[in-house]
Amino acid sequence: NAGVTQTPKFQVLKTGQSMTLQCAQDMNHEYMSWYRQDPGMGLRLIHYSVGAGITDQGEVPNGYNVSRSTTEDFPLRLLSAAPSQTSVYFCASRARPSGNTIYFGEGSWLTVV
């Protein structure tokens, strides 16, 4: 039972570098999303997708890019990393349309120096 799988778990980047956080789910969920978690701020939605080829912005999309070429995968790209993007990133998915609960990956700890 893989569920939602995120890689890498830990990453250190230098300011200005780009990288991609990978997210894959094996539950045939149409809805996938990315959140960032910062101390004292809970989780904030970055981008989400309701199916292959469909993406939309969440609350804090600036500096991030996403694409959804398959149902299974939803990568998050940091275009030019900034220290403000130091955070824990969670990928989540749920069934659509009848699902209610979102299920999270284990998180990716990103530090930008």
Partner 1 sequence: AQKITQTQPGMFVQEKEAVTLDCTYDTSDQSYGLFWYKQPSSGEMIFLIYQGSYDEQNATEGRYSLNFQKARKSANLVISASQLGDSAMYFCAMREGSGTYKYIFGTGTRLKVLA
In whole angstroms, the minimum distance from the beta carbon of 30 to partner 1 comes to 9
Query: Which x/- pattern, by CB under 8 A, does the window 9-48 give for partner 1?
Result: ----------------------x-x-x----xxxxxx--x
In whole angstroms, the minimum distance from the beta carbon of 109 to partner 1 comes to 8
52 binds partner 1 (CB under 8 A): no
Q: Which stretch binds partner 1 (CB under 8 A): 15-23, 64-72, 75-83, 104-112?
A: 104-112
Helix (H, G, I), strand (E, B) or coil at 83: helix
Question: Distance between CA atoms of 81 and 104, rounded to whole angstroms?
Answer: 24
Contact 55, 68 (CB under 8 A): yes
Residue 50's nearest CA partner among 34, 75, 29, 27 is: 29
98 binds partner 1 (CB under 8 A): no
Phi, psi of 85 (to 5 degrees): -90, 5
Site size for partner 1 (CB under 8 A): 27
**HSE on the CB side for 58, CA within 13 Å?**
19
Residues that bind partner 1 (CB under 8 A): 31, 33, 35, 40-45, 48, 50, 58, 88, 90, 92, 94, 96-97, 100-107, 109
